[in-house]
A = this chain, B = another copy of it.
Amino acid sequence: MGTALNALKLLDYFSNARPEIGLSLLARLSGLNKATALRHLRALEEFGLIEQNPMTKSYAIGPAALRLAALREIARPGIESARQKMQAAMQIVGESLHLSLLEKNGLQTTLVVETTQHSVRVSLDPSEMLPLNATASGLCMLSFGPAHLRVQLDQDVQVQFTESTLTDPKLIKEQVAQIGISGWANSSGSYEDGVFGYAAPIFGIDQIALGTIAIAVPESRATSDRLPEILSALHALSTDMTADFGGQLPDTFPTEFHP
């Protein structure tokens, strides 16, 4: 049921690591028949969501994506000013930032601003779904997001990404409780080795987190003396962006973050 949806799902196979995909590979990845995949691609191409490289014959996301994003910005403003705030914060902190929003299927990285100040940087994939148990953003979301996320915690099996990934629901809940008090979350290589993350919530009108803002730092620069700077930037972004999205901070939310 849902031909249109099946066609759209092809778009999910494009990612940072694989921005262009050929017909055969895409058919294999999606499990669809080549003919079906091709017909879907043609439909998407006609709309502009897919573009075929005339030389390589490979397919990539098309220009219509940009138009729709602009339209989205009109319907639900916030991203544009978020981008600017993140860019400004990036200049000060000198690290990559990413904004993630809670969507139907999970926590989606929506906006990435990479640092221009270091060649060793954390590079995030905007097509990625963030695991709640293994990332600072995810833990933050568990702590400040809708209750059903915490309920599901006991049901779902938590994936182990690295040695330091938390998978025991009990340990995760302890972390989450701690984050509820401090207001910010951090992760030390629990998703990817060598990547430290610091995240803070962005609240909706109902004082429940609708997304997170996070700073990702490579291990080599994740020294404790940089923490105050990072936390101060994070707190400012958290409060400012909550306001931008028309949300409201809970009364119990700390007025500043402490290490």
Q: Check: A193 CB closer than 8 A to any chain B CB.
A: no
How many residues in A have their beta carbons less than 8 Å from beta carbons of B? Answer: 49
State the copy count for this chain: 2
Contact with B along A1-20 (1 / 0, CB 8 A): 01111111101001110011
- Shortest A110–chain B CB gap in Å is 5
- Asked if A48 meets B127 with Cβ closer than 8 Å, knowing A79-B66, A108-B67, the reply is no
Give the complex CA separation of A16 and B5 in angstroms: 26
For A5, give its contact among B9, B46, B65, B104 (CB under 8 Å). Answer: B46
Contacts of A7 in B (CB 8 A): 4
| Contact assessment for A19 and B67 in the assembled complex, using a CB-CB cutoff below 8 Å | no
Contact with B along A82-111 (1 / 0, CB 8 A): 000000000000000000010110001111
For A68, give its contact among B46, B49, B70, B103 (CB under 8 Å). Answer: B49
Q: Check: A27 CB closer than 8 A to any chain B CB.
A: no
Q: Check: A44 CB closer than 8 A to any chain B CB.
A: yes
A102's nearest neighbour on chain B, judged by CB, is B63
Q: Check: A126 CB closer than 8 A to any chain B CB.
A: yes
| Contact assessment for A9 and B74 in the assembled complex, using a CB-CB cutoff below 8 Å | no
Residue among A4, A40, A49, A65 with the highest chain B CB neighbour number at 10 A? A4
| Contact assessment for A110 and B66 in the assembled complex, using a CB-CB cutoff below 8 Å | yes
Contacts of A61 in B (CB 8 A): 68, 71-72, 75
| Contact assessment for B110 and A47 in the assembled complex, using a CB-CB cutoff below 8 Å | no
